[in-house]
Structure 1
Amino acid sequence: MKNPFLSTQAQQPPNLQTKLGYGVGEMSSEVPGSVLTFFLLFFLTNVAGLNPTLAGATLLVGKVWDALNDPLVGWLSDRTRSPLGRRYPWILWGAVPMGLVFALQWWVPPTSSQTGLFIYYSAIAFLFYAASTMVIVPYSTLAAELTRHYDERTSLVSYKAAFSIGSSIVGLVLAQLIFAAISDPRGKYLTTGAICGGIATIAAFLCVWGTYQRFREIETERSQIERPTMPPFWKQIRLAFGNRPFLYVIGIYMCSWVGLQVTAAMLPYFVVNWMGLPEQHFTQMALAVQGTALVTMPLWGWLGRKLGKRTTYCLGIPLTLIAQAGLFLLQPGQVALMYAVGVLAGAGLATAYLVPWSMLPDVVDLDELQTGHRREGIFYGFVVQLKKIGAAIALFLVSTLLAWSGLVTGGADQPVTQPESALQMIRWLVAPIPSVVLIGGLVLAYLYPITRDRHQQILMQLHEKRSVE
């Protein structure tokens, strides 16, 4: 249904090329992101031979640095003026360095020194996250710039979410194929990193190609609206955190991804150490989760348009909570049940990909009504930043708890037997502890105040404000 408070061009839904182009851009984040989430901690401790505490510190250093970049790049992209617009120059300049440095993340330097390994992987993380921020934050803001319609944003973000899950599947399938083809443990991780880094770079360029025409059409209309001068960076921070619905969105997003990433990081330990299965079962389990999330995404997108974003999230996440309880209760030998639990987890997981990102553009509209500025970059930068800080702290605590529990590390060719204390810690970290965080996200989603009717009122007030101006 058309909205009378949107411009003629903004009323037209984005075409298939725009939606596919926007979706493909998610591969630049999620193909490397899924490999990092599922494999990096395991790689650092079990292949590179880094102590779990130092491995966790490496992740913390990289993520905190990455998080510091996000609002700054968002703010800078808001202020960028170029023939290609505000966002695209950042994506184009960051794409190639992002892919190259990602490959180096999976190389094991010729040193057995724990200090040397820590310095190397921390430095690589510093460079990788600097380049990836240049791509991911400007790319993410496009959701608020390619359409202004409440339900069309859900549709557009459903493509992003589908590609996000699909990208994770691509990364996992590639890893499984490479792991089967290459016997050398170090070689298979390096090959996976190089291929996934190349895919991420190509995806960024394809996103620019697929979305640029639609962006220029919308941006031409926006450029005719006179905007007041942007306030200083620190004042923009205060304004952003004075937006109450924004606080709900970042809370929902942080709870979703902290909870899910802790489970994902622990999954290889759970499958290999607790269930006693070969490594290929881990990738197959992850594929079961992500594949189900991809298949159920159209259903959740449809429900989002029918029932609203808040209700959809509150229906989906409980499925993941039930699945996490099932993981905690699983015993070695219950392989079929393990995969069934993975399918149930994936069905709920889809809403964590879909709902928070579709809420955020509505928050940007409210901010424009309150301040007179379109500040997509600062909002998206903060969401990405706070998610990364939360995930980094959580993973650091996870690695510290694993070390405290007596987890035995080893190099690539040194199979180890874990003590009972480590096995029980793995069980608690894969399910009950992240479940508590997800429950927090459910509470925040229930309280989120921007409904479809409220968003319609925001657009009406914006229309009236512009008419007066």
Structure 2
Amino acid sequence: MSPDMDALANIESAVPEPGAAAADDKQPTGRLIAHSLLNTAVTGVQLPIGVYLPAIYAQQYGISLTVLGAIFLVERIWGTATDPLVGWLCDKTRSRLGRRKVWIGAGSVLFVAMNALLFFPPAGVTPAFLVAVLLVTFLSLSMIQIPYYAWSGELSGDYHERTRITAYQTIASGLALFSVLLMPTLADRFYPGDQMMKLHGMGAAIILPVIPTVLLAFWAFPDHSVATPRVKAAKVPWRQASRAVRSEKVLFRVMTADLVITFAQGLRGALFVFFVSFVVGKPEWAGGLFLFQFVIGIFAAPIWQWIARIKGKHRALIATELGQAAVNIGLVLVGAGDIPLLLALTVAQGLMQGSGNMLLRAMLADIADEYRLRTGVNRTAMLFSVFSVSGKAGVALPVGIALPLIAWFGFDPKLAANTPTALTAVALVFSLGPGLAHLIGAALVRSFDIDEDRQVKIREELAMRAAD
């Protein structure tokens, strides 16, 4: 064990979290639905920020694509610092509300305030304003997301039940994205060309559900960390703790897989409106097709849960990543006015949309068990925070790379007609970039070895340790 791991092992006693090992039975469906709805706040804001905000802020406030790309890249780099810090602090927190709920409650209030500024901005928005608001927005998102996913991973120790939990969360994400993305679709239909109407509609759909879904999640399940006894422990800097967690080889591969998979999704999302509007030449189809893709994804989550139950999580993940690679590479064949082929590929993409993220989160809960068995330390929130860094980087990099890249080839969304070179650049980056990323994601999880049999043995050993 490395010195960092030795230090971590002294942070807390080896007593398992009260509920983390005991909740092996199937969770009540109603309460699981209530708990999963909180995922709407976690995911509902991320695609609009990556897909619509750059285009709207460029067109309405004259901020260049290069500047916007730099802003969004810096904000996500900021997240690489805040996520591990939030995870470390969350694992160390002691309160009557428990470790998770107190952070989620505080983060939700800040999240609502920042999104009000982001989606209902004042006149004369400047790059400095956007930087400041995004900084605090992503901090508030970390305060909700990291504790929530750690809490979700502690609801059950059962291998398949964890996939069921993440499947419900994926469905909730799809419903959130449906409600948020419905707004620009309706704006295109009833208020064509009104970009601010799109922005305000998405903001309302993001902000209004936050507090009700937080209260439902708090009602649905207890935070078992309330009962965790306070233990005197050696002080370890959060950077040292984070570095130790990142040294885990299995976690690193899963985290990198999440990075490239989320990169693929973010790249596709960042260029989707530009691809449909300028390459295919059907701007009126952009919002509707993007919405349709996520509607399909809502119904696909139970299918991938079933496949994972039969084949195992990592094998199901490999299958969906190879499928998504084929679909994205197939987008090279879509040309001007080719709606039937684009529609068919959109359906295929929707059937696999989000399945990789769902399965990776379920796999991470198994990694957390193995880590706790080996080190005697519960670092669930820290593990999810490090994992979240990869996800946020995967969202940021497409905006920070793709937008300046297509701008370099001469693409300008303010022009009615772009050059063939610019349109070819948009098409190739939109299709081949995600295709290659999904292939890399499949390769990274190929050797993942925590299957159902091993996970059962890990839980049994944790239960034996708790009984000693």
Whether TM exceeds 0.5 here: the answer is yes
Structure 1 position 189 matched with structure 2 position 198: yes
* Residue-by-residue CA offset, 1:180-210 (whole Å, 9 max, x unaligned): 3445624313422430332352354234334
Who is 2:416 aligned against? 416
Give the residue type in structure 1 aligned to 2:32: K
Who is 1:79 aligned against? 92
Structure 1 position 461 matched with structure 2 position 466: no
Does the 8 Å CA contact 2:162/2:362 hold for their aligned counterparts? yes
Who is 2:151 aligned against? 142
Who is 1:205 aligned against? 214
**Alpha-carbon RMSD:** 2.3
Given candidates 304, 329, 339, the residue that maps to 2:333 is 329
Distance 1:67 1:199, change over 3 A: farther
Does the 8 Å CA contact 2:159/2:366 hold for their aligned counterparts? yes
Question: Hey, what's the Cα distance between the residues in 1 that align with 2:352 and 2:192?
Answer: 35
Structure 1 position 119 matched with structure 2 position 128: yes
Who is 2:14 aligned against? none
Structure 1 position 356 matched with structure 2 position 360: yes
Question: Hey, what's the Cα distance between the residues in 1 that align with 2:320 and 2:106?
Answer: 37
Distance 1:466 1:70, change over 3 A: same
What secondary structure, in the 3-state scheme, does the structure 2 residue paired with 1:446 have?
A: coil
Give the residue type in structure 2 aligned to 1:254: L
CA displacement at 1:166 relative to structure 2 = 2.1
Structure 1 position 20 matched with structure 2 position 33: yes
The 10-residue stretch of structure 1 (41-50 or 398-407) with the greater mean CA deviation from structure 2: 41-50
Who is 1:448 aligned against? 448
5+ long unaligned stretches in structure 1: 1-5
CA displacement at 1:252 relative to structure 2 = 1.6
Who is 2:165 aligned against? 156
Question: Hey, what's the Cα distance between the residues in 2 that align with 1:455 and 1:244?
Answer: 17
Who is 2:318 aligned against? 314
CA displacement at 1:156 relative to structure 2 = 0.7
Who is 2:50 aligned against? 37
Question: Hey, what's the Cα distance between the residues in 2 that align with 1:225 and 1:360?
Answer: 26
Given candidates 49, 55, 59, the residue that maps to 2:72 is 59
Does the 8 Å CA contact 2:327/2:348 hold for their aligned counterparts? yes
Structure 1 position 49 matched with structure 2 position 62: yes
CA displacement at 1:138 relative to structure 2 = 1.1
Give the residue type in structure 2 aligned to 1:119: A
Structure 1 position 341 matched with structure 2 position 345: yes
Who is 1:167 aligned against? 176
- Equivalent residues, number: 450
The 10-residue stretch of structure 1 (225-234 or 68-77) with the greater mean CA deviation from structure 2: 225-234
Question: Hey, what's the Cα distance between the residues in 2 that align with 1:431 and 1:59?
Answer: 22
Given candidates 242, 248, 253, the residue that maps to 2:258 is 253
Question: Hey, what's the Cα distance between the residues in 1 that align with 2:444 and 2:111?
Answer: 34
Distance 1:227 1:424, change over 3 A: farther
The 10-residue stretch of structure 1 (323-332 or 173-182) with the greater mean CA deviation from structure 2: 173-182
Question: Hey, what's the Cα distance between the residues in 2 that align with 1:100 and 1:234?
Answer: 29
Question: Hey, what's the Cα distance between the residues in 2 that align with 1:352 and 1:167?
Answer: 18
Give the residue type in structure 2 aligned to 1:161: T
Question: Hey, what's the Cα distance between the residues in 2 that align with 1:273 and 1:7?
Answer: 51
Structure 1 position 238 matched with structure 2 position 256: no
Does the 8 Å CA contact 2:368/2:379 hold for their aligned counterparts? yes
CA displacement at 1:140 relative to structure 2 = 1.4
Distance 1:235 1:100, change over 3 A: closer
Distance 1:369 1:9, change over 3 A: closer
What secondary structure, in the 3-state scheme, does the structure 2 residue paired with 1:332 have?
A: coil
Give the residue type in structure 1 aligned to 2:439: I
CA displacement at 1:408 relative to structure 2 = 1.9
Who is 1:292 aligned against? 296
* Residue-by-residue CA offset, 1:241-295 (whole Å, 9 max, x unaligned): 232221121012111100111011110000001111133x112211232122221
* Residue-by-residue CA offset, 1:415-446 (whole Å, 9 max, x unaligned): 52212221011101111022111111000111
Question: Hey, what's the Cα distance between the residues in 2 that align with 1:226 and 1:94?
Answer: 26
Question: Hey, what's the Cα distance between the residues in 1 that align with 2:383 and 2:209?
Answer: 24
Who is 2:8 aligned against? none
Question: Hey, what's the Cα distance between the residues in 1 that align with 2:126 and 2:20?
Answer: 55
TM-score by length of 2: 0.90
Given candidates 104, 109, 115, the residue that maps to 1:102 is 115
What secondary structure, in the 3-state scheme, does the structure 2 residue paired with 1:11 have?
A: coil
Give the residue type in structure 2 aligned to 1:180: R
Does the 8 Å CA contact 1:228/1:373 hold for their aligned counterparts? no
CA displacement at 1:8 relative to structure 2 = 8.6
Question: Hey, what's the Cα distance between the residues in 1 that align with 2:195 and 2:353?
Answer: 31
Give the residue type in structure 2 aligned to 1:128: T
CA displacement at 1:66 relative to structure 2 = 2.5
Distance 1:178 1:295, change over 3 A: same
Structure 1 position 69 matched with structure 2 position 78: no
Does the 8 Å CA contact 2:246/2:386 hold for their aligned counterparts? no
Question: Hey, what's the Cα distance between the residues in 2 that align with 1:62 and 1:193?
Answer: 21
Question: Hey, what's the Cα distance between the residues in 2 that align with 1:105 and 1:136?
Answer: 19
Does the 8 Å CA contact 1:99/1:200 hold for their aligned counterparts? no
Question: Hey, what's the Cα distance between the residues in 2 that align with 1:53 and 1:407?
Answer: 11
Question: Hey, what's the Cα distance between the residues in 2 that align with 1:8 and 1:417?
Answer: 60
